[in-house]
Amino acid sequence: MSQRTLIYGFHAVISRLRHHPQSIQVIYLDQARRDKRAQDVRKYADDKGVKLVGSEASRLKEMAKGKSQGVVAFVDPIQLAKNLDELLEDLTEPALLLVLDGVTDPHNLGACIRSADAFGAHAVIAPKDRAAGLGAVAIKASSGAADSMPYIPVTNLARALRELKERDILIVGTDQDGTLAVNEADFSGPAALVLGAEGEGMRRLTREHCDVLVRIPMYGQVESLNVSVSAGVCLYEARRQRSAFDK
């Protein structure tokens, strides 16, 4: 039997129905719900030929550890890109990558994947160990972006960064003491944006592989931003610069 991964919540399940219905083994839906989102799940499942089973809300909560939101699905894992080489060989524009070093909160991971999708990054890269991993919580937090944004876990992040540098991809690290403001960095060419965990930041070896360190100028009383917010700010600047060059 194929490996079963649980996902839950209407955003995650409907996105999977839209993008990868063939990966869904079965959907369990709160049989008492008749609202539009429940109707959408029933319609998509019927259209795609996906098995749907009515279930009691209490059973769904038990399956999803209290967080089902009325719908749970067991799915086959999807892999949008098997590795960095496969991803980069298929690109038709300069690479824009988001690299996460030590992000262990799955909510933050999901939000970062959502930001990466929103601003046109080509993939999110993270270490296999000491990282959140693409589980049910991260998938739900991505609001469907995990089904379209390649997430590539790597065994050795420092080695992956070296491989990117060998491909002439600029490694841009983020640090509150960065020598450049993020808007002063040049994102017109291939670039990988590296963010570390909240509080600790990037690990020393990761920092040493960065070509440049940038900071997000802060104008209020707080000294730092949530990692997913920082990712959104930096990716927006990268996309803004690229859009200006495309005109």
Q: CATH 3.40.1280.10 occupies which residues in the chain?
A: 84-246
For the cut 80, the answer to whether the pLDDT of residue 182 exceeds it is yes
pLDDT in tens, 29-77: 999 999 999 999 999 999 999 999 999 999 999 998 877 789 999 999 8
Q: pLDDT category, 1, cuts 50, 70, 90?
A: very low
Q: 189 and 155 in contact (C-beta within 8 Å)? A: no
HSE-up of residue 179 (Cα within 13 Å, Cβ side): 6
CATH T-level fold of 5-75:
60s Ribosomal Protein L30; Chain: A; (3.30.1330)
CATH T-level fold of 84-246:
Alpha/beta knot (3.40.1280)
Mean pLDDT of the chain: 92
Q: pLDDT category, 247, cuts 50, 70, 90?
A: low
Q: CATH 3.30.1330.30 occupies which residues in the chain?
A: 5-75
List Cα–Cα distances, 144 to 2, 117, 153, in angstroms: 23, 10, 19
List Cα–Cα distances, 122 to 29, 68, 70, 75, 206, in angstroms: 33, 30, 32, 24, 20
What pLDDT score does 67 carry? 78
